[in-house]
Every structure is written in C-alpha cells, then in structure tokens.
A and B are shown apart, each in its own frame.
Chain A
Amino acid sequence: MKTSQRPPWMEAPTKAGLAIKGMVIAVVCLLVLYPFVNIVATSLAGESEITRRGGIIPLFPSEPTLAAYKTIFAGGVVSHALLVSAGITIIGTALNLVVTIALAYGLSRPIVGGRFVLTCVLFTMLFGAGIIPNFLLIKALGLYDSYASLIVPGLVSAFNFLVLRNFFQNIPAELLDSARIDGAGDLAILLRIVLPLSKAVLAVVALFYAVGHWNAFFNALLYLSDTGKWPLPLVLRLYVLQGQPVGGATESPGEAVASIQAVQMAVVVVALVPILCVYPFLQRYFTKGVLTGAIKG
C-alpha cells in the first residue's frame, strides 16, 4: 500500500525518519485539538469535581452534568446574544452574497467603466481610512447603536470579491455565448448558468462571511453602546475574560451546582458549536476558494 504511493525515484524512508515525522505530526494535531477537548470536558464537569481537581478536567469529567448549560440559558443574556449573533450572521451573509455576487459578475466581463471600478475596489486593499473616520461616518449616517452597523460597513470584502470574480472569469466563454445566442440576457446568464456552476466557491465565500459575522467583535464594541444589542463575542468577553458572573442563575438545592469555570467554558462551547458544525462540510473547498482569490489577484 505505502510503497505503491511513493514515486519510484524516492528512496524508502528510514525507520527513525518516519518515527520522528509521525511524532511531529501527532504533536501538531494534539496541540490543535486538545484545547477543544479540555474546554468541553470542563463545561460538563460539576462543581464538586472541579473543586476537588483544582479546576482541571484533563479529558472527561467522572460525573458529567449539563448544569452549566442550564445556568447560562436560564439567565437569558446568553440566549439573547446567541439570537442576535445568529440573526446578524444569517441576514448579513445573505446581503454580503447578493452584493458581492452582483459586483463580481458585473466586473467579470469588460464593461464600460469596469476598469475604474475594479481599481477603486483593489485600492481599498492597500489603504484604509482608519478607525476614527469610520467611526465618525457610522455616527453621521445614524447607524450608531443599530444592528445595521454590524452588517453594512463590511458589506463587500475586497478579498471575497476577488475570489468570486476570478472564478466567474474562468467559466468558459462558449457556455455564456451559447446562452446569449439562445436569447438569455445578462441576468438570466448569471442566475441560470454562472451561479449553478459556482456552488463550491460560493459555499466557501459564504463561510468566510458567516464566520466573520459570528466572530464579530470590534465593530460591535465600537458601534454598539446598548448592551441589550450585544452579540455573542461581547457577552463571551464579559463573562469569561472580564470574569463577570453569569446572571439569573437560580440554584435549587439538590441539583448539581455549576462552577464558574464550567459556566465560562459552556459559553465558549456554545460560541464554538456552529463553527464546528459547518466546518467539516466546507473544509474540502478551502483550497479552491483561497487559491482562486490569491493567485490571480
């Protein structure tokens, strides 16, 4: 099996070499994966076990309990932040896609003024106005303290635009021409030919946008003063990094009491789960998505 995959000119690996390589690879994988195991284990541990073991649950708690999760969802703050983040992610990603697809398709063929618009877009990758002018603009537009301030300022990312435009440009011209001869207009070509051919790259771009919204921290910090509108990352910071106790926990006697550490890690897990859920399905498209954008940019 192994020998058949190795090209004939390559010498057989030495035993020691293989062992060292295998170990390095195993260590790399462990360094990435272990932190996730640890936080899930801690979030499932009960108060007594965490106290007994000094806050450390290395692999799995002996008496797993969902007390921490009950606590965070009883308070309402985390559930509300979760809803806000989910809403921003879904609506934001949909808007991102529509506008980015339109721009990328429009500029994928030589049109009047296309060169100029393209240059305008690309220049923004080299030079940004800075935090303060952006903040003043949001204030001036009346977007301060609105959910729109989390979506509109990042409506099109120049990088994602490039990924899509390069992909659209590589669609064989004969396909588009034959559709045009059959009487299809530009919009019909986009909807019936270009988009169905671009599902994989669209999935990657959608993921990039969605992850950006889900993890949005600084824009929310900058543009939202109303804590009632806070998305999950800000709530996460409040509870985990700034150590504020999760409010609204009513502990009835007899039930397993969740320790602060378990509750904190439960919030982290809640923030992680959506990413971990979509990741395996989109993972195989990454290379394509990243390379169509980067190489020919």
Chain B
Amino acid sequence: MHRVSRSSGRSPDRAASRAARQAARRVQSGPSLGARLRRDRVMLLLVLPGFLFFVVFHYVPLLGNVIVFQDYQPYLGFKDSPWVGLGNFSVFAEPDFYRALLNTLKFAVLQLVLFFPAPIGLALLLNSIISPKIKRFVQSVVYLPHFIGWVILISISQQLIGGTGLLPQFLGELGLPRVDLMTSSGFFPWLVTLQLIWKDAGWGTIIYLAALLNIDTEHYEAAAIDGADRWRRLWHVTLPGIVPVTLLLLILNLGSILSVGFEQILLQRDAVGADAAEVLDTYVYFHGVLDGQWGPAAAVGLVKGVIGLVLILGANKLAHRLGHEGIYSR
C-alpha cells in the first residue's frame, strides 16, 4: 500500500499502471493473511483440536527420544537424568538384541512370502465367482476375522490347536502323536503367519478387488477374440492390471516390516519363550517399560522407527524410478 502512495508524485500514467499491476498481483496471491484468517476462522477452529492432538501425542513424544542419550531415571526426569552420549547404543552389540532382530527378520520374511500374496490369490478367486449373490456372501465371510481382536483370536486358536484342543484330540483318535502347536517354538513363526492370514487375508482383498473391477472388460473381450484362453487372459490382462496396487501395498508393507504383529506375539511369548518370540517391539517393552532400562530400549525403538522411515521412502523412490506412482507423487 505505501508503495502506491510513494509513487503518487510521479507521472499519473505510470502510477496508474503500477497500481493496476499491484492489484493484479493481489488478485493472484489472494486476500491478505489477516483477511484469510478471518474468512477461515470457523474452519481453523474446527481443525484446532485435531491439530493439537497430533502435536501433543505424535510430535511431543518425538522429543521424548532425548532419553536415548541419557541414563534415564523416572524419579529424576528428563532434566536431571545424567547424559551418557551414545552410551545406550552399546545395546546394539548385545546378544539379546540380535535375537530380537533375527526373529523380527524371520517373521518379516515369512509374512512377505506367505501373507502378502494371500489376498491377491483370494481376490482372484473371489473375482472369478460369477454369481453376485455367492460372491457377496463369501466376501462377508472372509472380511469378518479382520474385526476379531488378537486376544480373542489367540483364545480361539488355543481352543482349536492348543494342547487340549480340537486338533491334538483328533490326531490322538487317529493314533497319531498329539502335537501342541501353540507351545512349539519351532512352529511359532508359522503359527504367527497362519494366524495373520486367517485374520487379514480376506480384508486385504478389498483393495485388489477394486483394482480388478477397474480393468476394462474390453481388454478381456479383445483377448478372448484373439484366442487367449482363461489362463492367458489372467497372465496378460488381469495380473498387469493389479501390478500398481500391489507395488503400492508392498511399499507400505516395507515401512512397517520391523513391526511384525506386536500384540499377537506379545500375547503368545509366554507360551513359546523369549528365544522364539522376542521381536524388536517386545524387546523394547520388556527391557524398557518392565525392566526399567529406559535409555537402551528407547534407542532400539528409535532406530527401528528410523529404519522403517528410510525403507518406505527408499521403496517409494524405487517405485518412481520404475515409472510407478508410489505412495505419493512427485
């Protein structure tokens, strides 16, 4: 504004064109900040509680990670706990940590190989059901377990395959050894993966089914006319149609690859022992919250989070390189 008044002494022509240019710029950049705040005041008030929630419960705890560099004592607090520099990171040289890391990787690989493809196969099966009634029924059945909490789910597996459950009973009647799959440490990684498939393979089909619906039927028709049988159509039309969404979910999975079923494993850790069931998250819980080794446990948690972030951003970059959209564009 004051620039307009300064230029008022010069030739009226130039002043006018300048004012017009400024007016144009104002239109381009919209009203002033004050005016926009006034215009958006209701919307801003609505946003405020949610924003405060994210600041307090997601960003303030990030600061709590300073205890990674402290010998944190709850009665001393953040301010008075002694600083130890990188001392807590010696935890990464301990065998307990390696056990947790190896178990985590073992679970992660099994889930990637067995659980990740399960919804794809199930979605292809569902998609091949022609009768809409049967399809809807099967869908309602397979989505259901997603809503069953881990405590309930593990109680149910205890009842079906635990020591006194259905499976050992059945095996006993056949004269076979009564195995207890719930307390076998060797079977535990498979048990965890199977439980996960039971719970979420059906739910995972939703996104693939949508992708399958989006494939233009003309492609199928053209392929059929060209003489492609159903398997060739699956290979040349259906599968290419779900590659982008598969890649997207793979990226998202990579980000959480070190968070293998925390509640699920914690609940069954007593039954199979820490050697088989200690993963990074349970390590943090038992060493930090229960044993009071706050600093070292927080260090493990922080490194795990950073690795997850690096993995997801790296995988996304790779997806962009390969010409796919990834989780966000740009």
Contacts and interface: CB of A to CB of B under 8 A. Distances in A.
A286 B62 CA distance: 33
Interface string A256-280: 0000010011011001100100011
Interface in B106-134: 122, 125, 128-132, 134
Given A187-B42, A211-B147, A129 B266 contact: no
B250 to A, nearest CB: 14
A86 interface: no
A181 interface: no
Interface stretch (A67-75, A117-125, A169-177, A246-254): A117-125
Contacts of B134: 25
Given A25-B138, A133-B61, A280-B140, A268 B206 contact: no
Given A132-B298, A136-B67, A38 B224 contact: no
Given A137-B64, A287-B206, A32 B58 contact: no
A124 B122 CA distance: 31
Contact of A241 (B58, B131, B158, B170): B158
Contacts, number: 261
B186 interface: no
B311 to A, nearest CB: 10
Contact of B156 (A99, A207, A268): A268
Task: Report the interface size class on chain A.
Answer: 35 or more
B44 A236 contact: no
Chain B, interface SS category: helix
A268 B284 contact: no
A16 interface: no
Contacts of B141: 28-29, 32-33
Interface of A: 2, 5-7, 9-11, 21, 24-25, 28-29, 31-33, 35-36, 38-39, 42, 54-56, 58, 99-100, 102-103, 105-107, 109, 111-114, 117, 120-121, 124, 126-137, 139, 152-153, 155-156, 161, 185-187, 190, 207, 211, 214-215, 217-218, 222, 233-234, 236-237, 240-242, 261, 264-265, 267-268, 271-272, 275, 279-280, 283, 286-287, 290-291, 294-295, 297
